[in-house]
Structure 1
Amino acid sequence: MLYIDSISNGIVIDHIKPGLGAKIFNYLDLDKVDFTVALIINAPSKTYGRKDLIKIENNMDLDLRILGFIDSNITINIIRDEKISEKINLSLPENVEGVVECKNPRCITSTERNIVHKFSLVDKETGSYKCDYCDQLYTWEG
């Protein structure tokens, strides 16, 4: 069995859907940091069977709405003195800005520069969002 040390102070992004850990790692630019980070892929999970997780030996600002958009089952554990001091359960955000782009070629975001892509949640069950400008439906394909 692989053993990864616990962290003293930092963040554990837990219960990531298998396969999304690397995408979140890249999205957070964790390959460019100067502190210890561990990306664990396909770890056993009692709840989900398998999961990815990321251990960050440092505190950093995380956009919880975007992480919730990518995978609403994620749990964020804040670690202080090798103990979980805070546990944050994520959910789908009502609005998402600047994370994904509208795929509709007739959308104003496709023809005009410097317009922030904005989406609003329309269905929690399917995780469907609609473009605020053209109503094009979008579902995250992790």
Structure 2
Amino acid sequence: MLTIASIKNGVVIDHIKSGYGIKIYNYLRLNKVDYSVALIMNVYSEKLGKKDIIKIENNIDIDFTVLGLIDPNITINIIQNENIKEKVNLHLPSKVESILRCKNPRCVTSIEKYMPHVFHLTDESKGEYKCEYCEEILKVEVDYLWNF
């Protein structure tokens, strides 16, 4: 049996879709930090079958919008004195700015490089967003988030 100790103060990112933990680990650049981090992959879960977990022995700022795009089922636990101080359940954000990029070559964001890319959630079940300017529909896929 694998045993990972609890953390005193920090963050636990739980219920990560199996295989996505390493993507979040890399996105948060946790390989560059000087405090303890545990990436646990393929843990048995009644709810998900398998899941990944990241335990961070430090309080860090996390962009919930990006993590919600990566996996809207993630739970973030803020740990203080070995107890859960706060629990945040993520979801797909209703508005996303400067994270996704419009693929329409006729969109104003393709011509005017200073314009922020703004998208609004149109279909939560499909993970589809619509560009605020040209109304191009973009389906969010995790691999797309890593290409820019």
- Hey, what's the Cα distance between the residues in 2 that align with 1:87 and 1:26? 23
Residue 113 (1) aligns with residue 113 (2): yes
Larger CA deviation: 30-39 vs 11-20 = 30-39
TM-score for both structures, normalised by structure 1:
0.91
Displaced runs of 4 or more, over 4 A: none
- The letter for the 2-side match of 1:33 is V
- Identity percentage of aligned residues: 58
Aligned to 1:10: 10
Aligned to 1:86: 86
- Hey, what's the Cα distance between the residues in 2 that align with 1:36 and 1:50? 23
Per-residue deviation, 1:30: 1.6
- Hey, what's the Cα distance between the residues in 2 that align with 1:82 and 1:75? 17
- Hey, what's the Cα distance between the residues in 2 that align with 1:115 and 1:23? 28
- Hey, what's the Cα distance between the residues in 1 that align with 2:139 and 2:53? 23
TM-score for both structures, normalised by structure 2:
0.88
Q: 1:115–1:29: structure 2 CA closer, same or farther, 3 Å change rule? A: farther
- Hey, what's the Cα distance between the residues in 1 that align with 2:18 and 2:62? 20
Gaps of 5+ in 1: none
- Cα RMSD after superposing both structures: 1.4
Per-residue deviation, 1:92: 1.3
Per-residue deviation, 1:141: 1.4
Gaps of 5+ in 2: 143-148
